[in-house]
Structure 1
């Protein structure tokens, strides 16, 4: 099989709270059961990979605070 499987390519997005003025911001991308997180200013830099359960627990914790 040739070509690229686009379903495995991350589509990155920024928080709706990001103002676009170059401040501190992260970008996230969601794959099947994995979430990728990176610094928006270092797109080729390291990423953090979380499983779906860990991501949901993180979001629930943020919503409670």
Structure 2
């Protein structure tokens, strides 16, 4: 994905973030998802396909990323 593709991106954060810039920001661009750190929006951006993003969010909903309890 070209940097130009990100210029018009509509970035958003979780409604639970509190708006302090400390959260991950996400932008949906066509069939891809861009992810960046809200505190440093000019740093590197991670790009995922819609399938990769869906697999990640499914894992979040299934608690696959919880810290071990032991």
TM-score under structure 1 normalisation? 0.79
Q: What SS does structure 1 have at the residue aligned with 2:58? A: helix
Q: What SS does structure 1 have at the residue aligned with 2:55? A: helix
Q: Within 5 Å, which residues of 2 pair with 1:4-43?
A: 9-22=8-21, 24-43=22-41
Residue ranges of structure 1 left out of the alignment (5+ in a row)? 1-7
TM-score under structure 2 normalisation? 0.74
Question: Cα distance, 1:19 vs. partner?
Answer: 1.2
The CA RMSD over aligned residues, in Å, is 1.5
Residue ranges of structure 2 left out of the alignment (5+ in a row)? 1-6, 64-70
Q: Where in structure 1 do 4 or more consecutive aligned residues deviate above 3 Å?
A: none
Q: What SS does structure 2 have at the residue aligned with 1:14? A: coil
Which position in structure 2 is the counterpart of 1:45? 43
